[in-house]
Structures are given as structure tokens and as C-alpha cells.
Amino acid sequence: MQIRILHFASFRDAVGRDADVRELSEGTRVRDLWASLGHEVPLFARFRAMPPAAVNREYVSGETVLQDGDEVAFLPPVAGG
Amino acid sequence: MSYLTSSPIDVASLLLEARDSDGALCLFLGVVRNENEGRPTTGIQYEAYGSMAETEMERIARLLATEFPDVELRMQHRVGRLSVGEASVAVVALSPHRSEAFAACRAAIDRIKTTVPIWKKEFHPDGSSHWVDPTKK
């Protein structure tokens, strides 16, 4: 299955791109995706805990199982206002 | 009306058309200031995960409508590059009485700052910049 990952703010700077498309195996959870990104992005590997994550524009837990076509984002600490 | 805007916030339009039952209108504006944590700041770039930020602000509006049934809430957040003195966020709470208006206005801005996916990059007089991380205060 295929999902799309969006990168924002400091995470986009760290990755060097706005977005990525990934092929994942069925049953991949949000936390599994975060762990795999940690192997590629040094900034992500330094996190002790997974940052807040969203699937299809809603906050989700790391246990959420990804589905084909999902839009996933890991969110740097928000700083609106 | 959209919760996000890339144009200057039109505060006057947010204040129009109070209900006849409203006796209080509370306005909060977040404004870009000239320093943060002792460091001079010349401006701020606001970036949003736009579609999710809209959803999240709608969720905040829905929750607050339950908590403050008599209050009408209006919110708008600016995105893009702002200079010192410009408004980055506006919250308007209208209510028959002032206590609910103050409380709802406060609750709204506090939640916006906590859950809405918006980020800010501060610029300094020497040309450097950095993403603000409120969890590192």
C-alpha cells in the first residue's frame, strides 16, 4: 500500500522536502513509520518519544494502523498565536 | 469564513453584527513583538498545515460551543511573514455577559496555541532565524 508523508517547519528543513510517498506493508502502525524515518533523518533519531502525529488531518496515537492512501504527518512542537 | 488567512487580519469585520442579546464583546489579538526570551526579533514567519489547522480550529469552536453555549466565537490566524506590530491571531467572544466572554476568549487562544498545527520562525536583526519550540522554555 502507498501513503503520503507531509513534512512541516523544522521537520521539513531536516528532511529537505515537503512530502514523500512511501510503499508500506499492510499492518504498519504510525509508530513503525516514525521508527523507520529515524533511520534516515538524524534529527528524528534524537527524539526519545514519537512526536504528535496526524493521519488524514486528525491527531492519532502511535498504535494507529495505516491504510492505503493515508496522509500522514509528524508534527514539530506547535507554536501558533 | 476561513480560520486561516494570508492577508492582514481584518479586525473590524470580526467585530461586526453582534446579536441583540450580546452585552459583552471580548477581543484578543496576538501581536508580533520585538523580542523573544531576550533576543531581538524583526519578524515572524507563520506556517500552517492548512487543512488540518482548519479542522482543528473547527473542533475547538465546536468544543467551546458546548462549554459556553451562550457565546459566539470568532477566530482567525494569520500565516506568512509578519513584521513587528502585526496581529498574528484574533479571537472574538460575544456573550450576554462579560464573564463568559472573557473565559471563552481565554480558553480559545490557549487551545489554539496548544493543538493547532501552526509553526513560527523568528527572524533576528543579524539575519539569522530559528523555529520556535515552546516545549523548550
At a CB cut-off of 8 Å and minimum separation 6, what does A36 contact?
none
User: Sheet of A58-60: strands edge to edge?
Assistant: A19-23, A2-6, A71-74, A53-55, A58-60
The span from the CA of A68 to the CA of B75, in Å, is 34
A9–B131 C-beta distance less than 8 A: yes
CA atoms within 13 Å, Cβ hemisphere of A43: 12
Could you tell me what percent of chain A has a pLDDT over 90?
A: 96
Complex ipTM > 0.85? yes
**Whether the Cβ atoms of residue B57 and residue B77 lie closer than 8 Å to each other:** yes
List, for residues A11-47, the tens digit of each pLDDT value. Answer: 999 999 999 999 999 999 999 999 999 999 999 999 9
The answer to whether A9 faces chain B, any CB pair under 8 Å, is yes
| Grid coordinates belonging to A25 | 506493508
Query: Where does chain B have alpha helices with state H?
Result: 11-14, 50-67, 98-115
Tell if the CB–CB gap between A13 and B132 is shorter than 8 Å: no
Q: Which residues of A touch B77 (CB under 8 A)?
A: 80-81
Residues of B in contact with A75 (CB under 8 A): 49, 117
Paired strand residues for B123: B43, B129
DSSP bridge partners of A29: A65
